Amino acid sequence: MCGIVGLVSFTQDLAHRSDLVESMRGALALRGPDEVSEWSSPRALFVPRRLAVVDLSGGHQPAVATDAAGRETVVLNYTGEVFNFAELRAELRGRGHEFRDRSDTEVVLRAYQEWGPACAERLRGMFAFAVWDVRTEELVLIRDRFGIYPLFYAETPDGFAFGSEPKALFATGLVEPVVDRTGLLEALSFTPTPGLSVFRHTREVIPGEVVRYSRAGVSRARYWNFTPREHTDDLATTERTVREMLEDIVRRQVISDVPISSMLSGGLDSSAVCALVNRSLGGGDRLQTFSMEFAYHLENFRPDEVHDSPDAPYVAKMAAHLGSEHRELLVDRDHLADREAQAAVVRAHERPVAGLDMYVSLYRLSQEVRRFCTVTLTGDGSDELFGGYMWFHDPFYVKSRTFPWLGASHQMEFLSGLLDRELYHELDFAGYTRDRYEEAVAEVPLSGEESAHERRMREITYLNMTRYLRVILDRKDRLGMAASIEGRVPFCDHELAEYVYNVPWEMKVADGREKSLLRAAVRDLLPEAVLQRKKSPYPTVQDPAYRTALRAQLKEITERPGARVNDLLDPARVESVLTDPTYGLRAGVTRMSIEAAVQLDHWFESGVRVEL
């Protein structure tokens, strides 16, 4: 894992820009606390930071290839993990390549030498990297198939900038943190659009995409997407195949030269990953597991529409079953309402998020994990792939012609409820959501042989895998990196995803429940109570004291002279939140919208400008 940032210019000499180097290396310090370096030439400047995980003495960045005469030919700035690097190294050795270390970084470098940008098709894992081809003066950016690691870019007045996060681009002084109308819609509509950043003139490399920049300009091409295929395996074979694939994936992903752990929520996904990791460790190091619980829920939890039970009892059952070294972090109202923790979340994401309490609790959990481990595995991606969310199963949500997670909320405003009503209607949030949805559905890969219901379930799966999963993976990455933790996601293996994407829906719900295919595949690994537990999403705090704290924060913001966020807020709705015992719910303001106002304040305080 590393943080990468770089520049290309065909008009200025970048070889001796120490001023730029100093600024760029500070922007991504948490992504790479173990090593910082630089590489420069007249046309290109790379400033990588490294979090050492595999081959601690090797794998230095950037990786540089030379020709027979010792001239530099290819320079690699790389972040991530390629889990089939051993097989690729053997193949590349057979093709005449020599290796100086045992890192996957050098394998990616040699793979690029051998196959060029097409090397991406051979990589199995999570990665984002930049290659400067000295011979052709071309920059190539490549991102993994699911966007597990972020990668942004922007054209500058005299060239091109790239980085793991937008803040790295801003550190060059050539890109500005400006949010325009489209950016504000993207930030507050909860309809993630692949390729779009919330910042003007800044784009994100689409998962499974290659972006190239040269004197001829910018070009983009996809190297991967889901491909519809006929599924010929019967149910028993499908269950066995999923299990075998998961065992192989986890076996590859536990490779590490630093302490490794697993997140445990007591649900099917994280429990399955923990059990598979525990088996892969083979009785060596004792598995370390971590969980989070809201202190209020220990005695006051109430079932709601999506949370049927608290996590803690199931976590305890699973940790005892595994014999893991388990640590539980209790989070209370003061932790959630802490302004510095909230600001840290906004700085990490560089945008408002939906469900600030969840993000602050996960930020604090990441800080706790980092005290003991550098790598952690999670169950992220399973719900999107196997159909775990409620909106896969309720006919009302399935039939809703919008993003299913918006249908599941009855299209309430997640983040825009306190936005000025005139501005809200002028921006046309409803139209923006509709257009993004229609674009997304139009790109769903279909064979043309699906029944109407199978087609719809394929659409919902694709929307989750390409849009909703982006939110989940960004959360994992940004909050993990805020604590310098590498997060690995076994369910986001592209070979597994390709296989399960083509499994007919009736097989995925063979026992009439969510994720029945996965449940059957891991049935022997889990205690019965955990195996049969109903899907419960990441918890949101029920403590009324948190609502009170948010209300107090909103009041402070509205009374603070010069608080720029007030220019975007609707005074009548703000007043309803501050005076109505229901906190404005009757005016249509959800708690997430109050959290959004608090986050917008932190965002603007960090230097972001809104130009509508």
Residues 124 and 135: beta-carbon distance below 8 Å = no
Distances 542 to 181, 295, 432 between C-alpha atoms, Å? 34, 10, 32
- Centroid of chain to Cα 343: 19
**Stretch (H or E) spanning 572:** helix 571-579
Cα 281 from Cα 274, distance rounded (Å) = 11
Q: What are phi and psi for residue 71, nearest 5 degrees?
A: -85, 135
Which two three-digit tokens encode residue 287? Answer: 């598995």
- CA dihedral for 450, 453, 455, 460, sign (positive or negative): negative
Closest CA to 218 of 237, 200, 235, 205: 205
Which two three-digit tokens encode residue 131? Answer: 């290659």
Q: Residue 140: how many CA atoms within 13 Å on its side-chain side?
A: 23
Cα 390 from Cα 402, distance rounded (Å) = 15
Token pair 């405003």 is at which residue? 413
2 is catalytic: yes
Token pair 């809201």 is at which residue? 294
Cα 217 from Cα 197, distance rounded (Å) = 20
Helix axis angle, 85-94 to 104-115, nearest 10°: 50
Q: Could you tell me which residues come within 8 angstroms of residue 236 by beta carbon, excluding any fewer than 6 positions away?
A: none
**Counts for the chain of helices (H) and strands (E), in that order:** 26, 22
Which two three-digit tokens encode residue 73? Answer: 């030919």
Residues 45 and 14: beta-carbon distance below 8 Å = yes
Residues with active-site annotation: 2
